[in-house]
């Protein structure tokens, strides 16, 4: 690639340090993580501290009413994953939800009802509080209360809202309808805060203090849980305290593949990590790394098309369906066989998940002990379902919108089933003493963002910040191939000549990436230039 053309002019440099680094999408949250590292915490403590701070400083994309995921490599050499995401309520059958949705629409019969994007039927069991607790209990040096302290301070003492987040916050003005929701997140219950305006989230801060003092049980067995259930049921949903009590996080084995000498780790289903691995494998079969210009873009795009088609056909909660070996080299060889010099008509699959442009938060941490962590905390789309649990200040997720009410859909709604999850933290092994945590947030941008960051670093030899600054492309649900305006005109025209339906989209639709690496004891970090955040270390 022509690096002079393709490097994004963010004027950011990769951050280097020897004690600890944190990269995320809001500067105050990154500082919270570094502070915990400075006070003796490790990367896992810092991950929880940063995630909790993001709940306050970037509430537009994350919250206690959502889920949390991790991929990590510990100082002892353990490579693992955590998945703390709940399923649908036990009483939420497709027929009950069809009838409930139809009753809310005057001209809809139950058999024609579709899964809504917001509202009580999109609320799945939240995994955040249990996930935070499990992270520090299993791997941390500090207590949960110590990890939550910076977030509680930001919530109760106030902080100035940053620019991109202020823009996203305006969505709450139409989403939230109840007085307690509007009072929790809007200034005077009327408007979103402006960039630079000091904001407090007292109700959320009080809930975090309760979790710090009483542990996650207050959410799953106590008064916060009761407020969550009461809110959902008052709006017509099926969530119960039994659903909350039954929830526990999972520690899972990652799935992985090798790409050009590096090993790439992803979360297994019900997350979409297999899409990233399949795309990398197909691209490898196509020798995409050896190509330049239009040919390189074309081959990576064709690999991504096939991976999305397969992922949306097969990936679901593995407790309900078996899946083929999407991450295998043999599977990729078969899928690469029909790639030609022309754009192929491969469908995006059948996601029906409202997830294409969803956004959330990601943070990456590395410490001097050798721990490397990629950590995601999400409420799915913006402020989620539109429901806030009583006076807790906890906005509830709408991840259940990823379910379908179609009986033949791979992600059809079933009681206790976990929805298809877009969220995928990433982990890279370059060598025995060279590991990186990374990720790219943004709905269906995530696996193709993983592919692009990995190939930028591994194939092109870019520094972490160069890899995140580089212009991006993305395959869309419509079948179009979207590019940033910084993709050179000759590349865009060449793709059109090959039959790709190219469209130019603004940077906000190309994801939010973070990166942290420990290379033989030297730590480095980079942050997404399209967001408010930074990478920091000490």
Q: Token digits for 43?
A: 């990367």
Phi/psi for 427 (5° steps) reads -140, 140
Distance (Å, whole) CA 402 – CA 114: 11
Q: Token digits for 537?
A: 């270390």
Phi/psi for 221 (5° steps) reads -135, -10
Dihedral, CA of residue 262, residue 267, residue 272 and residue 274, to nearest 10? 50
CA-closest candidate to residue 437, choices 518, 325, 501, 318? 518
Check if the beta carbon of residue 451 is closer than 8 Å to that of residue 332: no
Choose, from 60, 360, 392, 422, the residue flagged as catalytic.
Answer: 360
Phi/psi for 406 (5° steps) reads -80, 125
Check if the beta carbon of residue 23 is closer than 8 Å to that of residue 33: no
Check if the beta carbon of residue 339 is closer than 8 Å to that of residue 302: yes
Q: Token digits for 339?
A: 């790639």
Question: Collapsing DSSP states into helix, strand and coil, what is residue 414?
Answer: coil
Check if the beta carbon of residue 463 is closer than 8 Å to that of residue 437: no
Check if the beta carbon of residue 86 is closer than 8 Å to that of residue 124: yes
Please spell the DSSP secondary structure of 133-201, one letter per residue.
HHHHHHH-SS-HHHHHHHHHHHHHH-EEPPHHHHHHHTTHHHH--SHHHHHHHSBTTTBPPPTT-EE--
R_g of the chain, CA atoms, integer Å:
22
Query: Which residues, at least 6 apart from 267, have a Cβ–Cβ distance to it below 8 Å?
Result: 69, 71, 81, 83, 252, 254, 255, 273, 423, 424, 425
Q: HSE of 362 in the Cβ direction (CA atoms, 13 Å)? A: 32
Check if the beta carbon of residue 158 is closer than 8 Å to that of residue 200: yes
The number of residues making up the chain comes to 538
Q: Is 360 a catalytic residue?
A: yes
Q: Which active-site residues does the annotation give?
A: 360
């Amino acid at each position: 690639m022509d690096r002079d053309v393709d490097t994004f002019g963010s004027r950011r440099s990769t951050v280097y340090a020897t004690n600890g680094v944190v990269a995320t999408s809001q500067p105050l949250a990154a500082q919270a993580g570094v502070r915990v590292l400075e006070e003796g915490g490790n990367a896992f403590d810092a991950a929880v501290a940063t995630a909790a701070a993001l709940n306050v400083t970037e509430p537009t994309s994350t919250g206690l009413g959502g889920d949390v995921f991790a991929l990590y490599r510990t100082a002892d050499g353990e490579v693992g994953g955590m998945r703390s995401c709940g399923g649908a309520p036990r009483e939420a059958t497709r027929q009950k939800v069809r009838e409930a949705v139809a009753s809310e629409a005057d001209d809809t019969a139950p058999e024609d009802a579709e899964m809504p994007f917001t509202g009580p039927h999109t609320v799945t069991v939240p995994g955040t509080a249990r996930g935070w607790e499990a992270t520090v209990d299993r791997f941390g040096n500090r207590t949960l209360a110590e990890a939550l302290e910076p977030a509680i301070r930001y919530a109760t003492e106030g902080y100035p809202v940053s620019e991109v987040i202020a823009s996203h916050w305006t969505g709450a003005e139409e989403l939230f309808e109840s007085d307690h929701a509007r009072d929790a997140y809007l200034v005077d219950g009327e408007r979103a805060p402006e960039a630079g305006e000091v904001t407090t989230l007292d109700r959320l801060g009080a809930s975090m203090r309760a979790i710090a003092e009483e542990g996650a049980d207050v959410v799953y067995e106590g008064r916060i849980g009761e407020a969550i259930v009461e809110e959902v049921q008052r709006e017509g949903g099926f969530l119960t305290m039994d659903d909350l009590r039954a929830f526990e996080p999972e520690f899972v084995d990652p799935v992985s593949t090798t790409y050009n000498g590096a090993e790439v780790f992803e979360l297994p289903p019900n997350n979409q990590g297999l899409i990233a691995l399949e795309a990398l494998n197909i691209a490898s079969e196509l020798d995409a790394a050896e190509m330049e210009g239009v040919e390189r873009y074309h081959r990576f795009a064709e690999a991504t098309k096939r991976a999305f088609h397969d992922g949306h056909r097969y990936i679901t909660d593995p407790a309900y369906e078996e899946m083929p070996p999407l991450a295998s080299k043999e599977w990729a060889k078969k899928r690469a066989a029909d790639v030609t010099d022309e754009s192929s008509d491969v469908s995006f699959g059948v996601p029906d998940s409202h997830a294409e442009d969803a956004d959330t938060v990601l943070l990456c941490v590395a410490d001097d002990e050798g721990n490397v962590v990629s950590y995601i905390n999400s409420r799915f789309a913006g402020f989620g379902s539109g429901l806030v649990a009583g006076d807790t200040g906890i906005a509830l997720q709408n991840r259940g919108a990823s379910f379908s009410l179609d009986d033949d859909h791979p992600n059809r709604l079933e009681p206790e089933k976990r929805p298809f999850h877009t969220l995928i933290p990433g982990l890279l092994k370059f060598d025995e003493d060279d590991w990186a945590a990374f990720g790219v947030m943004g709905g269906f941008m995530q696996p193709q963002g993983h592919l692009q960051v990995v190939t930028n670093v591994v194939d092109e030899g870019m520094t972490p910040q160069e890899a995140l600054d580089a212009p991006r492309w993305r395959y869309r649900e419509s079948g179009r191939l979207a590019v940033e305006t910084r993709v050179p005109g000759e590349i865009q025209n060449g793709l059109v000549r090959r039959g790709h339906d190219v469209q130019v989209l603004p940077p906000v639709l190309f994801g939010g990436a973070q990166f942290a690496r420990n290379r033989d004891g030297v730590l480095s970090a980079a942050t997404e230039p399209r967001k408010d955040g930074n990478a920091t270390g000490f």
